[in-house]
Each structure stands twice: as structure tokens, then as C-alpha cells.
């Protein structure tokens, strides 16, 4: 099974250039021992949303 997983190849992160296995096999025993899959870290700065503009509820701006 591990040979088949390795045959799938690697994925290269376009931002960092680091390579990660496309398919990783972890047993329950490994998970209980604290082993985690080798995955890229998520950059939380790109997931931020814009602040909401404070507008008066009853007033609508003009188009012209």
C-alpha cells in the first residue's frame, strides 16, 4: 500500500516550492501517537475579509 501511495508522486506548492506527497497513509496507531499528515500550512492573511462600511440604515447615497 505504501508503495502504491508513493507511486502517485509529489505535489509542489507554487508559492513556497516545497514538495508534499500527494497521497499519505496514516494508521490509527500513528494518529493516536500524535503523527500528522505532511501538509502545507495555511496562510491566514489571505483569508481575511474587508471591514464593513458603517452606513446609516435609512440613508441611501445618490448615484450622480
- The CA distance from 64 to 60, in Å, is 12
pLDDT score of 64: 76
| Residues 12-26: tens digit of each pLDDT | 988 889 999 999 999
Q: What is the dihedral of CA 36, 39, 40, 41, to 10 degrees?
A: -30
pLDDT score of 45: 66
pLDDT score of 24: 95
| Residues 38-60: tens digit of each pLDDT | 988 876 666 667 777 776 666 77
Amino acid at each position: 500500500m505504501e508503495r502504491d501511495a508513493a507511486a502517485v508522486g509529489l505535489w509542489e506548492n507554487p508559492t513556497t516550492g516545497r514538495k508534499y506527497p500527494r497521497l499519505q497513509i496514516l494508521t490509527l496507531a500513528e494518529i493516536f501517537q500524535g503523527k500528522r499528515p505532511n501538509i502545507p500550512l495555511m496562510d491566514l492573511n489571505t483569508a481575511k475579509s474587508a471591514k464593513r462600511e458603517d452606513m446609516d440604515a435609512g440613508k441611501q447615497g445618490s448615484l450622480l
